[in-house]
Structure 1
Amino acid sequence: MLTTAGERIAIDCDLPWVDELIDEATAGERRNADTERATLAVRVESSSRPFHTTAWEPVTRGAWRRAKEVVLEDVCGSGFDLRLASGAERMDFTYRWRPKLRGQVVARLLPSRFILLARAALLQYPAMWRASLRDRAPLHASVCTAGDLRPLLAGPGGVGKSTLLMQEIAVGGVAICDNICVSDGSTAWGLVEPVRVEGGSGRAMPHGRVERQLTRRVPALVPDIIVSLRRGEDSVAVVKPCDPATAARSLITGTFIAGELRRYWSFAATLTAATGLGPAQAPVEEIAEHLAARLPAVEIVLPNRPGLRLSELLNRVEAIA
C-alpha cells in the first residue's frame, strides 16, 4: 500500500523489474497493509498482449471506452498500455508493458527519462487524477515546517526549493514532498517521490541532480504562509512582501511550466472525457487564488549560492512586521 497525494494505492506487480522501479519510486513509503481501504489499485500484468478494444468507442487517438472501462495506449509515452475500470469506491488501473520500437530505444538509451515517465504513468498521474475527483488540484509546490511556520513554497523548477527543504529537514523539520502536491485550497497533500538535489551519491537524474530519499516526510500539512521563490544574482537574499495576485501567479505559472506535470494535463483530460468523471480542467487557478486570498505571502529572492536557511529568512519577515 502506498499513500500519496492523499490517495491510498494498492499495488500488485507481476514483472520483477517494474516492481523494483516502483519500490524506488515510492522512496521507502510502500507498506504491507490492508488494501481494502485503497482508493485506487495499480496492477502491472506480465502479458504483452493488447487490451481488447474491438467495437469500443474511440475517445481520441490511442484511447477507447466501453461502459465504465477505458483503454489508453502508450500512456504518456511510457511504453505501458492502461485499462481503467472506474467504480464508485475504487479505481482499478491495469497496465501492460507494450513499448513501441522508439519506446524501447528510449528506455535503453535514456534510462533516467524512462524512469520518470514510468513513475508518472504508473503511480503519480493516477493518484493526482483520483484526487481531482475530490476537488483537489495539482500544484508545483511543497509545504514544510520552518521554525513555527508552515510555508508553502512556490516558484519554478530549479529555483532552490529542494535545497531549502533539505536544510530544514536537517535541523528537525518535516515536509510533504519535494516538488508536487495536491491541494483543496486549505490542506496540501504531498506526492511521494525521491528528492532531487545537486551533488552527492544516488541515481543520476536530469539537470545534474541525484536522487535521495526524502526523510521526515509527512502525508499532509496546512500551510500558513506562501513563499514565492526567485533566484537572484546577488550574494545575499532579499525578503519582501508579496501581494495576493503575485503569490497566486507564482503558484499558477510554476505549476503549468513544471516538466513533471507536462504530460499530466492530457492524461487527466483523456480520462475525464472517457469516464465523465472529474473536472474538465484542473482548477489550478481557483485553488491558487483561494490560497493567496487566505494566507499572507512573501517573496524571497535567493542568492546565487546557498546561504541562510528558510526559517532564518522567514525570521526577517517577523522582524519587518
Structure 2
Amino acid sequence: MQNIAILCSGGDVSGMNPALKHFVEYTLQKNLTPYFVYDGYEGLIDNKIEQASYCDVSGIINRGGTKIGSARSQRFMQKKYRDIAKQNLDTLGIEMLVVLGGDGSFRGLDIFYKETGIKFCGIPATIDNDINATDYSLGVDTALNIIKTSIDAIRDTASSFKRAFVIETMGRDCGYLALVSHLTSGSELCLIPEKEYDLKSFEDDFKKQIKNGRKYFIAIVSEGIKQDSSEIAQWFENKIGMESRVSILGHIQRGGNPTIYDRLMAYKFITHAVDGLLAGRDESVICYTKSGFEFNSIEEVTSKTKELDAELLSYLDKP
C-alpha cells in the first residue's frame, strides 16, 4: 500500500475538519494508508506524523478549525529543516502530500517538491478567497455566513439607537468578504482595497437620506483599506452627523460550524486531490472555477494577484 499524508498550513478555516474526515475515508477506500501531520510544516520538521484511522475523524465533520492543528513555519523556509522533514517522511514511506492552505503554503510546497520529489496536491483553504486561479477557497462560505449573522444582529442595535455601525471584515488585501457581505446584507457603504474611494462623495447623499427618514447606516469595510475603521466612524459623526460605533469581527469569521456548502466542497476538493495524485499529477493545486474543478501549477496560482469578479465590483458604482 502507498502512504499519503495531509497537513493544514496557515490560517485555519471551517471546512478543514470535513476535509480531514473525507481524506481518511477516501484514501482507505483507495487502498492507501493515510497519515496526519500535526501543526503544519512545523509538524513535518518535528516528526508529528501519525497514521490515521476512522476513529480519528469520528464526530469532527461539524467542528470548525482543524483537529490536526495548523501553523506558519519560518523554519520550513530553511533548507536544513526541509531536509529533516524529508527524512521524517522517508522513514514512514510517505511519498504523497495533500496540503490545505494558501499562497505561501503552496510556494513552500513547490520548493519542497523540486528538492525532494515528494508529490503533492494543494487545496485552497483561506477565508480571504484571495488565491488566484480558483473562484472558491475552502472555508469562505462559512465565513460569509458568520458575517451575515453578525451584520443582521448589529442591524438590530443600529436601528434601535439610530447609529451608524462600521463593521470590519477580514481580507488582508482582498475585499471579497466585505464586497459579497455588502451586496447580500443591504448595507449602505462598502469600502475595499480594490476600489478607490473618496468619503466626501458620499456626504450629500447620506445627509439627504437622513432628511428623508433614514435612521441608521451600516458600513462594511475590509481590513485592507487605507483608513482605520475608527476613522470611518469619526467621519460618520463629524460629517454625516450620526453617532457611530465600530465592530471588528476579527477571528470570529474563521470559526463556527461548517456550512453544508463547505462540507460538500471539502468532499470534492479531497476527492479530486487524491485522484489527481494517483493519476500522476505530482505537483499541482486543485482549483474550482465556473468550468468546474481543474488542476493548476504552482506558478499559475502564485504568480498573479487575484482580481475580484468585475460584475460584482461594478455594483459598487450603482446607486
TM-score interval, normalised by the smaller of the two chains:
under 0.3
With normalisation by structure 1, the TM-score equals 0.25
Q: Counting strand residues as a fraction of each chain, which structure ranks higher?
A: 1
Which is greater in Rg?
Answer: 2
Q: Counting helix residues as a fraction of each chain, which structure ranks higher?
A: 2
